[in-house]
Amino acid sequence: MTEKILLNTPLYTFCRQLDTANITDLSLFTPYTKQVWQDKITLLRKKLTALPHLAGQVILRLPMGLEREEIDAVVLYRGIVFVIQLELESSDYKAGSIARVYQTTRQLKDLTPLNKELYMVPVLLAAKAKPQAGALAASQDLLFDTMCDSGEYLSALIEHFSNQFKADEIDAENWLAQHYRSL
């Protein structure tokens, strides 16, 4: 497992100012893995730029403390934690992938006392799939069912959740500090 995240940056910087050439940790990857991450970053930037408010935080490759387990992307937006699994080559929403992103989000939710109080939304982004509508179903502990999207409606999905479920802004640095203390 890698103990270090790939990127932790404000949403505005990620969408408007980020130059992937300046992400030095990308150079530590094999050429193939580096290209995959560059493609993931490009897709996320393109889709998140459509958000009406670029106030929030983007965290890429968040370690979970389990062997080789990590979260592709976490977006902290208007008080909600969006846990995103990116499948660039997938043309459908596989049941195993839906379950995996949900289970990873569940583990993240149970990791710290702060997370227990936050809305969390697992998102499976299968880039080559057709967009799929889904009901907003949450458990008692504020964890939603996995939302599936091709990326086409990612910003609308995030904005819809933030409009429906009002929450206080999340202090990204404090959130990350608690995360690492809990690993």
SS3 88: coil
- Taking alpha carbons only, the member of 56, 59, 58, 50 closest to residue 77 is 56
Predicted pLDDT of residue 138 = 85
| CA pair distance 155, 44, nearest whole angstrom | 10
* Burial class of 2 by CB neighbour count within 10 A (0 to 12, 13 to 18, 19+): exposed
Q: What is the mean pLDDT of residues 2-6?
A: 77
pLDDT one-digit tens code per residue, 76-132:
999 999 999 999 999 999 999 999 999 999 999 999 999 999 999 999 999 999 988
pLDDT one-digit tens code per residue, 144-182:
999 999 999 999 999 999 999 888 999 999 999 999 898
List Cα–Cα distances, 109 to 80, 92, 113, 124, 133, in angstroms.
12, 26, 8, 17, 24
